[in-house]
Amino acid sequence: MLTIFQLSAQRQYFEKHTFNAGGHQIPYRLELPQNYNADDTTKYPLILFLHGAGERGNDNEIQLTHIDVVFGSEDFRQNYPCFVLLPQCPEGERWVDVDWGLTSHTITPTMTVSLKLTMALLLRTIHQYNIDTTRIYVTGLSMGGFGTWDIIARFPKIFAAAIPICGGGDENTADKIVDIPIWAFHGAKDKVVTVDRTRNMIAAIKALGGNPKYTEFPNLGHLSWNAAYATNGLWEWLFFQKMK
């Protein structure tokens, strides 16, 4: 088990910022690649991380709850130098305006304010730093899993790969994301978001000729993200992906 000191040491890599646009604001953290030098012309991948419902707020802290031990670890930083962008959705709001208990939903014509701010933040970050725009990735868990499916359907030309965990999307958007490398995860015993949400998205993409990867944990419920992010070969697979 990690000590408080170890957690604090890992979180030091995540800079605190606030993004303002259109009269709204969203707190976020940004992790820079190890040994990043703005004067260097080297371009790095970027991972957008969308947290779950339990990490909403404005403290710019708890969105790291399930992920600092991954992205903040020395092994990850050494082996996969990249930017990690971690916005925090305000309390009472959602990345996607959908009931998580439904067996299906239809994508809305417009994004929620929080997801719209996140996309604007992502685009600004791309312009501010040395980022490889052919290697922009997105991952999210639970509420963030819904956000992951939603944002790649709206911006399929932005993301080189996606890792949605225990979320769900609109199966009718499968044609928009059929060519995006996707590795999805879900626990078979999930009582919060039915596993059928991910199964159906994968089936819809495959029906159109896509080849998404899917890992289902037969003995896990909703809290499947720790196992997902610890999956052997996941990060090698992700960083291999590149926008064509």
pLDDT in tens, 98-120: 999 999 999 999 999 999 999 99
Is the CB of residue 87 less than 8 Å from the CB of residue 26?
yes
**Residues 6 or more apart whose Cβ sits within 8 Å of residue 207:** 174
pLDDT in tens, 177-224: 999 999 999 999 999 999 999 999 999 999 999 999 999 999 999 999
Short-list 146, 130, 117, CA closest to 26: 117
In eight-state DSSP terms, residue 165 is: E
> Whole-prediction pTM value?
0.95
**Residues 6 or more apart whose Cβ sits within 8 Å of residue 223:** 187
Question: What is the amino acid identity at position 88?
Answer: Q
* Mean pLDDT within 69-85: 94
Q: What CA–CA distance (Å, rounded) separates 189 from 116?
A: 32
Query: How many C-beta atoms lie closer than 10 Å to residue 119's C-beta?
Result: 17
Question: DSSP 3-state assignment of 114?
Answer: helix
E strands in 62-219: 83-87, 131-141, 161-165, 183-187, 213-217
E strands in the chain: 14-21, 24-31, 44-50, 83-87, 131-141, 161-165, 183-187, 213-217
Query: How many C-beta atoms lie closer than 10 Å to residue 96's C-beta?
Result: 27
Q: Helices in 129-171 by DSSP H: which ranges?
A: 143-154
The CATH superfamily of 4-240 is: Alpha/Beta hydrolase fold, catalytic domain (3.40.50.1820)
Question: Does the pLDDT at position 5 exceed 50?
Answer: no
* Mean pLDDT within 30-35: 94
For the chain, the residue count is 244
